[in-house]
Amino acid sequence: MKARIDYSNVPEALRGMYQLEHYIHNSGLEESLVHLVKMRASQINGCAYCLDLHSKDARALGETEQRLYVLDAWEEAPFYSERERAALALTDAVTRIAEGHVPDAVFEHARAHFNEQELTALVFTLTTINAWNRLAITMRTEVGNYQQKARPVSQTA
């Protein structure tokens, strides 16, 4: 599919997104968890570009193929920690916010596994990946060319 618009040519519009990414990647959340929840939101939203990017980055950090392959069925798979499960449940609720908002039980389960600073960073992570998904899907960002590389943390999606 051909890209509709190359939105990377408008750095002033992306500056805030990059600042959020900088905050997320310096918040203390595990990078592996950040990529896991970004992949899960991207699965729900059907964002091929972000799935490609985050699967490559996750594997570069040592994530297993098995955990990536069954992420769509995380509730049934024994491969995720309780902390990851709490983050994934929150990811599902935030990403599907129109289907019932974020239930108190889901939020409280996440609160049991994350301190306030981490939980805030997690919510910003989910908000940001949902925005990236909407940009990539709407603009039809070209899929498949992303190569995992050392890049400034302020420019990760």
Here the tokens at position 24 are: 């997320």
What is the pTM assigned to this prediction?
0.88
Per DSSP, the three-state class of 64 is coil
Q: Which stretches of the chain are assigned E, i.e. beta strand?
A: none
154 part of a folded domain: no
| 82-93 confidence digits (pLDDT tens) | 999 999 999 999
Residues 6+ apart with CB under 8 A from 30: none
Cβ count near 64 (within 10 Å): 11
Q: How many domains does the chain have?
A: 1
| 82-134 confidence digits (pLDDT tens) | 999 999 999 999 999 999 899 999 999 999 999 999 999 999 999 999 999 99
Distance CA 85, CA 74 (A): 8
2 part of a folded domain: no
24 part of a folded domain: yes
**Structural domain harbouring 29:** 16-142
Q: Supply the CATH number for residue 75's domain.
A: 1.20.1290.10
> Are 24 and 115 spatial neighbours (Cβ–Cβ below 8 Å)?
no
